[in-house]
Every structure is written in C-alpha cells, then in structure tokens.
Structure 1
Amino acid sequence: MSQSPSTEQAASTPAAAPAARPAHPYRAFAMRAGLGVAVVTILLTHYDARPIFRILSRERPAFFVAAVALYLAGQAMCAYRWQLLAAILKVHGRYREYFAYIFVGMFTNLFVPGLLGGDAARSVYLGRRHGRIGEAIASVVADRGVGLLGLFWLAAAAAIFLNFAPIPSSIVTPTIAVGAITLAGFLAAPLVARLIHLMPRPLRRAGGIVAPYLHHPAALIPSIALSMVLQITLAICQYLLAAGLGMTVPLSLFILCVPIANVFASLPLTLNGLGIRESAYLVLFGMAGMRKEDAIALGLLWFAATMVGGLTGAIAFVTTPAPVEVTLSHLG
C-alpha cells in the first residue's frame, strides 16, 4: 500500500544537495501507530469487542495459512514488477535479488519508523549491489507509483462495473475521480517530462529521477497490469479469510470493496492502514449486508495476516548479504 531514500541519493549523486532527515522519525512512527490503535479501540468499544473476538476465534487455521501464502505469492509478483521497472533504467539484476530485497523491505517496514523505511532499504540494497543508487531509487519510486496506479484504476473499474452492493455515490464518485485523474496524469506523462527543466529546483531534481519513466509511459503498462492482478490477489486473500470465518460472501464483492478500501488505507495516516481499513470495511461491506462485527473482524484478521507475512521477511533479512558500496568501474 509504506522509508526516505533521499539520503542515499544525495550521497551518490554529485549534483544533489544533502537531504534533511525528519527531525523526529520515531515520534511520527508512534503517532501513526497510536492513531491506528485509537481508531481500532473506538471501533471495538462502540461495537462491543466480545462478539468481534468470538468471530476471530472461529477462523480456521488452514484458511489463514492459505491467505498468508497467497499474500507472499503476491510479494513474489511485486519482485518481478520491480525487476521490469529497473530494467528500463538498465539495472539488470537477477530475479532472486529483487525477490530477496522485496522481503528485506517488507520486514524493515515492520520496525523502521517513517513512511518509506522498506523502500529506502530496497534502494540501498539494489543500488549498492550494482553501483547505481540513483537508478535504484528511481526504480523503487516507480514501483510504488505503478502500484498505486494499478490500485486506483482497479478500484475505479470495480466501482463502475461491479457495484452490485450498491455503494453510495459519496464513495463511488471520489474513487472514480481518482482513477480518472491518475489516468489523465499517466497519459500526460511525456508532456510533464518535457516541462521538468522549467520546474523549481527541488521538483526538477525529483522529476529528473523518474524522467525515463515519464518519457516512455507505455513501458509501464506491463507493470501496471501486474499491479492490478496483485490487487485482485489481495481481494482473494481476504475472501479466503472470510471463508475461514464461515462467511458466505461472493468473491465479486471483495474485488469491489477491497481495492476501494485500500485506496483509503494507502493514505499515510496510520501504521499499515490500521483502523482506516477496518473503518472502510465497516462502511463498504456493511452496505452489502455484512454485519458490522464481521467487517471489523475481517479487517483485523487481514492486518494480522499481513504482519505475519511481513515477519517472514526476517529470513531474507538475515540471509541476504549486507549491501556493500560498489562502483561502476568495479562492475567492469
């Protein structure tokens, strides 16, 4: 859905000025985590935590394990998407590198304060491995961007074609609008690339990082398609969790509601969308007739599944060699 790589970029790019670190990263991390916990606490208090915990206790372990396994398969898909994006910048690493670095970043996200801790780790590992820090940062930024494009476009398409619930226009309209705006921005990318030299200096530097992608947006289409497949995979994961709870809900409802909920959960307000996702589920699934307690329980269960999935990244974190500064001359 989510970490500042600017320091590494400044260290390796002569034209870049030193980037300032956030003054209080741990305070920001604590605030996001605290806000998420506060929202969940309010929901549990308002709707009575006891039936919600009883619902959670019904989850069949086999379905939970299957959901986590499918979630991890999605991360493997993310590694391939990142490899495609890096190749556009002539960073040709082996798939196993990207696979390991994705899981290192996923594990780092659990413990490093800030929005982009995992992304910064990925940039450092890939950039130092190939002596291409700038390109590594650009590939990670692009990976994050195409992930959001796939999310926004799938959510908009689902809101248009799968709105059988029905979801009210107050939610559908902004979702479609975000999809339309991002599509327009994607189509206008070559024009934006030509205007980079006219932008203020900070924006010019940021634009220069991703300029190769802006000049050739069509090259991003396979990665965006993978992002949309990934979002469908995440919807199937949560369908499995619901089946494990004994719910009989059609898969189409998850393909509709999960991407829309993820649009809101992608806002960097709480830790991994905690609280925001549960609130979105409460509204979206509630409109389809799901009990409020079931919707909250499903959101909490998915948060637990992603945390368990993130912890598996400890294997890659321990077994992957620490990045060592490499120069292009050394790579021969």
Structure 2
Amino acid sequence: MNPSDPHEGQPDAEPGAEPDSVFDEIRRERSSQSFAKSAALRLIGLTVVALAAWIISRNVSWTDTLVLENATGKVELPGTIAGDWRSTEIEFEMDVEAAGEAPLAPLGLDAADAAALEESRDIGRPWMVRKGELILPGGRVLLVVEGTPDAQGARPAKQIDWRPGMVRTFREIRVLQLIPALGFLILASLCVATRWWRILILNHCRTSWYNAFRFTYSGLFFNAVVPGINGGDVARAIAVVRHHPTRRAEAFMTVVVDRVIGLIGMILVGTVLVLTTDERLAPLRLPVSLFCGAILLGAVLFFHPSVRRLVRFDALVQKLPQSERLLRLDATARKLLHSPAELGIALVFSFGNHVFNGLAVYTAASALGSTLGFQDWMTTMAISNTLAAVPLSPGGLGVGEVLFGSLAEMLGSSYALGVATSLVYRLCLYAMSLLGGLVMLLPAGPARGPASGPESEPESSAA
C-alpha cells in the first residue's frame, strides 16, 4: 500500500529546511502581508478572545455548587464540598453570604421543611448529599429524585446534584491519567503525517515517511511558538517546498488539500455522532445535518464535470487574483478525487486522527473527574474543533472553551468541567507541539520515498 511517483528522472530534492531558515521564511511570509490587514486580523482575534473570556466568566462557577430542582423551581447554591466530589456521597456546606436571602424560596417548600433547612444552615451543619437524595443533619431525607428508592416523608425532586468549581476541578486533577492522553495525541499526529505523506506521493512529490513525519512535527512546533493561527501550516509548507524545488507549487498545495481532507473527515464524524447520540443533542441534529449536507452537496457540484463545463469553471478562475495558484490547488484536489482508493485511505487516516483525539479528550476529562462516556466527549471534540477551525482567534483560543463548556452542559456535565477539559486538552496539545522542537533537530532523511504504489499521470493544470 505504499504510494509511489512515476517520475524516476526527477532530480533529488534539497535536504529538509533547517530550523533557523524556517523561522526566517515565516518572518518573510508574514512581513509580506500588508500592515493594515495584519493589524485588522489581530484586532479581530483579540476581540473574539475577549468576548469568549467574558462568556466563560459569566457561565463558569469558581466555587462549588449544589443544584436542587423540583416541580416548582430550581436553585444553584454556592458553598463548599467536603470529601471527594467524584464519589456518590458528599457533605455540602452552603455559603450563607453568597447565597443571599431566602435562597430556597424557588423550590416552594412548606414552612416546616424550609425551617429545617434554614436551621441547619444557620448553625453551620453541612447537608449530606447522595446521588438522588438530600439528607438533613439529623438523618431525615428531605428530597429524593424520581427513580431513587423512596424515603418516608421525602419530597419529590427532578434533580439533586453537585458541581465542583473550576478551582477544585484543577486542584484535584489526576495528573498521571494525562500520560495516556499524550500518547493518543502522538498516535493522532502519526495518522496526520501518514495521510499527508500519501497525498505528497500521489502528486509526484516523492518523500520518505520519515521526512513527512519531521515536517509534520515542525508544523506542530511552530503552531505553539509562532503567534497567529497559521504558523504550523506555513512552516510545514515552507519545509516541503524547500524539499521539492522542481515541484514547489504541487508540494505547497498538498498542505492545503491535507487540511481540507482533515476538516471534511471531522465534519462527517461529528454529524454521525450527533445523529446517533440520544435526545440530549436533539436540538443540534437539524443544523448539523444541514451543514454536513451542504458541504457534501457543494463538493459534488464543484467537482462534477458537467457542472464545471456549464459554468465555464476554468474561465471564471482565470479572472480571479492568484488564478494560477487556484488552478493548481484544484488540480491537486481532483487528483486525489480521481484516485478513489487513495481518497478512501486518506479519510480512514482522518477518522483515525479524530478517534485518537477523542480518546485524548475523554482521558483528560476523566482525569478531571468527568462521568460522561467516550461518545459524549468524542461528539464534543468533533463539533467544537470543527467550529473552532474558523480562524477567528489564535488557535481557536476561547472559542473552543465556550463550545466545550456549552456542549458538556447539554450532555449533562457542568459548564466548568467542559471548559477545564478544553484547557487541559489544549495544554496537552502544546506539550506535544514542543516535542516538534526536538524532532526538528533530527537529521533529514532520504529525499525520495518508496518506489511502489498507485500509478498516476502528472497533471500540470486544471482540466
């Protein structure tokens, strides 16, 4: 299954780009952009980050919270959890000052029950809370959730739950459980490197897998150390273009096609997961299905020969700025489309990448104490990463946290735990990205890739 290049007479490529030269190339690439455009993009990015930070601050609880809900109303009481909040039984002491006057009034409790709760609060005795039960200091079960074994005299409730604040969530993280998360992220990056390697070879940019691996990790490193949203792709593109001086345009376009294939795979994964999840995500089914359908329909129409002839696609593109580059990008994408086996393999590696990322998110969430399952966090990751891929803020910072928090809350977890999971996942990505700095120090491998695989004719322009 190793792809090959029929261009046996092609000159050897240059060795891989050295780190210093890649830094210089990135600086020149960025300095070529107009100052006004660069400043405007930075301003938009900072505005989005600030807005996301405000949304998070409005939704995240920094202190522990007890949630009580019955047929009359719902209250979220601030306080302190005593014991391990991950267990099925805790003690909760309400913060009297933060709760304010008559905090239990929305529950509509009768005078005796309200007085019992107020008395325990006033004397500073904590409430015992089990999953589905609220127990007064004297041992009386005051509220019980439907489906929990009934206690004599208990009032029915819809929800009795506790949520740790952001501070407790991070303070009690199980650090050793993050090691598997890093391992899953490394496996995901190997899927990306292999997918891109095959796209390179298909477009007659013969490259060893080792060099594709080096270039991928160089991109990960620059993603972490270069400000902005595209440092990693710029570094990867510069490295592979220097490696293929006789096919610079084709090598560059493989980076773009690889990114698009990854995004399409993530959209498909997210759509399938939303449609197969229970009613918790029912409000998302229609918009997600319409979005995915629009993407697939647009792709079919864009690449259909009859449609392209009808709209005179080549003539239209020739009138656009950067028309030659756009035509080369189109040719690179159609080359993959006209190789169904390679397209299928690329999508398989995309799915593998997303599954490993989902496992990393699930592991990070479990280290924080989440009780949601793998499919829940996989769905959260796929939807959040798809929407955060829109370049509104550097690396999707802030946007991803808002999405993680909102989706986690929809799935039955807390907003704070969703935000914390996103931050830990991001930190794990940064840790793996820094490994790219070490990979860049490795010696360059042989320029040529394997000599066996799918045969395809070179394509110099869009047909």
Shared fold by TM > 0.5? yes
Q: CA deviation at 1:299?
A: 1.4
2:251 corresponds in structure 1 to 136
134-143 or 220-229, which deviates more: 220-229
Partner of residue 324, structure 2: 205
5 Å-filtered alignment, 1:100-115, equals 100-115=214-229
Residue 38 (structure 1) shift: 5.1
Shift of 1:96: 0.7
SS at 1:248's partner residue? coil
Structure 2 CA distance for aligned equivalents of residues 277 and 253 of structure 1: 16
**Residue 349 of structure 2 corresponds to residue 226 of structure 1:** yes
Structure 1, 252-261 or 44-53: larger mean CA deviation: 44-53
> In structure 2, how many angstroms separate the alpha carbons of the residues matched to 1:259 and 1:304?
18
SS at match of 1:110: helix
Conserved 8 A contact 2:229-2:393: no
Using the alignment, how far apart are the partners of 1:113 and 1:246 within structure 2?
32
CA distance in 1, matches of 2:292, 2:194: 24
Question: What amino acid sits opposite 2:298 in the alignment?
Answer: G
- The normalised TM-score by structure 1 is 0.82
Deviations 1:242-301 (A, max 9, x none): 111222221121222221111211111122222111211222111111022211211111
Higher relative contact order (CA 8 A, sep 6+): 1
Letter in 1 for 2:193: A
Larger Rg: 2
1:96 aligns with 2:210: yes
* Within-5 A mapping of 1:1-332: 21-23=33-35, 25=38, 28-29=41-42, 32=45, 35-36=48-49, 39-40=52-53, 42-44=55-57, 46-49=59-62, 51-131=165-245, 132-160=247-275, 162-169=276-283, 171-188=284-301, 189-191=303-305, 195-199=312-316, 200-202=319-321, 204-210=323-329, 211-217=331-337, 218=340, 219-319=342-442
Q: Given that residues 109 and 116 in structure 1 are in contact (C-alpha distance below 8 angstroms), is that contact kept between their aligned partners in structure 2?
A: yes
Report if the CA contact (8 A) 1:26-1:114 is conserved.
no
Give the deviation of 1:316 after TM superposition.
2.1
Q: Is the 8 A contact 1:63 1:241 kept in 2?
A: yes
Tell me if the contact between 2:219 and 2:231 (Cα under 8 Å) persists in the aligned partners: yes
Pair 276,165 (structure 1): closer, same or farther in 2 beyond 3 Å: farther
Q: Distance in 1 between matches of 2:373 and 2:45?
A: 33
Q: For structure 1, which segment, 81-90 or 174-183, has the greater mean C-alpha deviation from structure 2 after superposition?
A: 174-183
Consecutive unaligned residues in structure 1, runs of 5 or more: 1-7, 12-18, 322-332
The residue type paired with residue 260 of structure 2 is G
- The root-mean-square deviation of aligned C-alpha atoms, in Å, is 2.8
The one-character-per-residue Cα deviations of 1:19-55 (angstroms, maximum 9, x if unpaired) are 9524254773475256325523541354233521220
The answer to whether the Cα contact below 8 Å between 1:37 and 1:274 also exists between their aligned partners in 2 is no
| Inter-CA distance 100–256: structure 2 relative to 1 (3 Å threshold) | same
The 8 Å contact of residues 213 and 220 in structure 1, kept in 2 or not, is answered as no
Preserved contact between residue 29 and residue 113 of structure 1 (Cα < 8 Å): no
**Counterparts of 1:193 and 1:77, CA distance in 2:** 33
Flag the 1:20–1:172 CA change in 2: closer, same or farther, 3 A: farther
Question: 1:175–1:136: structure 2 CA closer, same or farther, 3 Å change rule?
Answer: same
SS in 2 for 1:247: coil
CA–CA separation in structure 1 for the residues paired with 2:313 and 2:378: 37
Structure 2: runs of 5+ lacking an equivalent:
1-24, 64-164, 445-463
Report the secondary structure of 1:75's partner residue: helix
* Greater helix fraction, Structure 1 or Structure 2: 1
Taking only the aligned residue pairs, the percentage that are identical comes to 20
The answer to whether the 8 A contact 1:155-1:179 is kept is no
Give, as a single letter, the amino acid of the residue that structure 2 aligns with 1:261: S
TM-aligned CA deviation for residue 303 of structure 1: 1.5
Q: Distance in 1 between matches of 2:402 and 2:263?
A: 20
Q: Any idea what SS the aligned residue of 1:310 has?
A: helix
CA distance in structure 2 between the aligned counterparts of 1:38 and 1:147, rounded to whole angstroms = 28
Distance in 1 of aligned mates of 2:58 and 2:372: 26
Contact 2:187 2:353 survives alignment (8 Å): no
Q: Distance in 1 between matches of 2:308 and 2:205?
A: 21
Change (3 A) 1:230 1:115: same
In the alignment, the residues of structure 2 paired with residue 129 and residue 216 of structure 1 have an alpha-carbon distance, to the nearest angstrom, of 21
Deviation at 1:184, TM superposition (A): 2.0
Amino acid at match of 1:198: A
| Bigger shift: residues 171-180 or 38-47 | 38-47
Q: Secondary structure at the match of 2:364?
A: helix
Greater strand percent: which structure? 2
The TM-score normalised by the length of structure 2 is 0.60
- What is the count of residue pairs matched by the alignment? 305
- Structure 1 Cα separation of the partners of residues 249 and 274 of structure 2: 37
Aligned-partner residue type, residue 79 of structure 1 = A
Q: How far apart, CA to CA, are the structure 2 residues paired with 1:23 and 1:216?
A: 36
